[in-house]
Amino acid sequence: MGAVTDAFDVLVLGAGSGGYACALRAAQLGLTVGLIEKGKVGGTCLHVGCIPTKALLHAAEVADAARDAGRFGVRARLDGIDMPAVNGYKDGVVSRLFKGLTGLITGRGITVIEGSGTLVGPRQVAVGDQTYAGRHLVLATGSYAKSLPGLEIDGERILTSEHALALDRVPASVVVLGGGVIGCEFASVWRSFGAEVTIIEALPRLLAAEDETSSKAVERAFRKRGIRSLTATLFQSVTPTETGVAVATEGGETVEAELLLVAVGRGPVTDGLGLEEQGVALDRGYITIDDRARTGVEGVYAVGDAASTGERPGLQLAHRGFAQGIFVAEEIAGLAPTPIDEAGIPRVTYSHPEVASVGLTEAAARATYGEVETVVYDLGGNGKSQILQTQGFVKLIRAADGPVVGIHLVGDRVGELIGEAQLIYGWEAVPDDVAPLVHAHPTQNEAVGEAFLALAGKPLHAHR
């Protein structure tokens, strides 16, 4: 171990959403910050996750709009998908955001340390032949795309989401292994681009972490779009063919396709970093933290995808890591911020249709509160949804005679509505708190208001 060359108030290992947010906020609060990153600042979300995938999803929305233009009286046609041009658009979005982020980091006086870091002492990290120290150490090491035993990712026929983002063509057919957020989003993109898509999911339904009503709505919409879903189906093996791969299930069915996308989740990046040697506790590879993001080792915190606060790993969402990073910076600065409510973190799947939620599912609410009350408002009664020609709903879940504990939405662009839903959940509102609020007409946001009118016992356009 080399001599300590620099000491910072805050030393951050990993410059993804959680790490750079912590660094920016800490610097803003007058602390000296060292930010260690082996790749590019911005991490998975900016470069191979949230931003590029959502750019692809927007291109897919444009393709659908062109294909369906006749429904709106517009004469247009879809001549095809120019993937190099789509990738150019996607990469341009990433490049502009990356440039902006690096400018912010430089402007805040943050020291960026390039290379892989390993813990070598109390709040000390070695990068190459140099060692850096911090009065406080924040672990923001992120996650990686997982595979299954015996399934080798070759980047050509068998892909992770990172490989899929770099494809220079639209595959004729794809098998997506995994029906979670990543699997459903890529299935949606490729179907919009014209590929034949089959999803294989081991659990009984797609998007199994969402409310069952939302899952069923997505499955119906996918069937209507021609996306085949094999749920409660276990993967058995994959065999190369002349044109791609043959994917066998334990149920005896074999699906042939040009490509196999492995989207079975993401694992924590914690191996080989010297964490346990320095006393940082791991549970199934995840860094164990309390509700104040502390690891149990004095002065050492963890945020983002690699950090877990309970029996199940935390949500692997960029905005969770972002919020945790800000929280830790303020905690270190002595501002005593309010702990983050994990259930209050909004969740959005940007497929067609979108799925958005905050709070508890109906099943979780019944397990927690026993008796609950629910209202489902169909977007068929919403003027803007009719204009957009989208189907879906707003579902509210209320603890008996108490606050609303879960809000679930399905439909195109409903992700843009989750902000109000988060505020409603966060202030523990009862229906009468929300029902009087005036929503602009015509907007999809009205659907939230209509649902609360119904839950308050005075439905306007909804039936109870």
For residue 99, what are the contacts with CB-CB under 8 A and spacing of at least 6? none
Instruction: Provide the token pair at 301.
Output: 């915190």
For domain 353-455, is the CATH number 3.30.390.30? yes
Average pLDDT value for residue range 159-187: 97
What pLDDT, on the 0 to 100 scale, is given for residue 99? 98
Q: How far apart are CA 94 and CA 235, in angstroms?
A: 34
What pLDDT, on the 0 to 100 scale, is given for residue 6? 65
Closest CA to 124 of 254, 250, 279, 262: 279
At 197, the pLDDT band (50, 70, 90 cuts) reads very high
Average pLDDT value for residue range 113-138: 96
What pLDDT, on the 0 to 100 scale, is given for residue 341? 92
What pLDDT, on the 0 to 100 scale, is given for residue 150? 84
Average pLDDT value for residue range 383-399: 96
Tokens 């019944």 appear where? 366
Taking the model in full, what pTM does it have? 0.95
* CATH architecture under which domain 4-144+267-342 falls: 3-Layer(bba) Sandwich (3.50)
Percent of the chain with pLDDT over 90: 93
CATH 3.50.50.60 domain span(s) along the chain: 4-144+267-342, 158-264
Q: What is the pLDDT of residues 11-51, one digit of tens each?
A: 999 999 999 999 999 999 999 999 999 999 999 999 999 99
Q: Are 257 and 244 in contact (CB under 8 A)?
A: yes
Q: What is the pLDDT of residues 245-277, one digit of tens each?
A: 999 999 999 999 999 999 999 999 999 999 999
Q: How far apart are CA 320 and CA 315, in angstroms?
A: 7
At 102, the pLDDT band (50, 70, 90 cuts) reads very high
Longest Cα–Cα distance in the chain: 71
Q: What is the pLDDT of residues 314-367, one digit of tens each?
A: 899 999 999 999 999 999 999 999 999 999 999 999 999 999 999 999 999 999
The yes-or-no verdict on residue 464 having pLDDT over 60 is no
Q: Which CATH number fits domain 158-264: 3.40.50.450, 3.50.50.60, 3.40.50.670, 3.30.70.20?
A: 3.50.50.60
What pLDDT, on the 0 to 100 scale, is given for residue 163? 97
Tokens 């609950």 appear where? 372
CATH 3.30.390.30 domain span(s) along the chain: 353-455
The yes-or-no verdict on residue 177 having pLDDT over 80 is yes
Closest CA to 357 of 164, 207, 160, 158: 207
Residues annotated as catalytic (active site), given as ranges:
441
Average pLDDT value for residue range 161-176: 97
Q: Are 214 and 261 in contact (CB under 8 A)?
A: no
At 400, the pLDDT band (50, 70, 90 cuts) reads confident
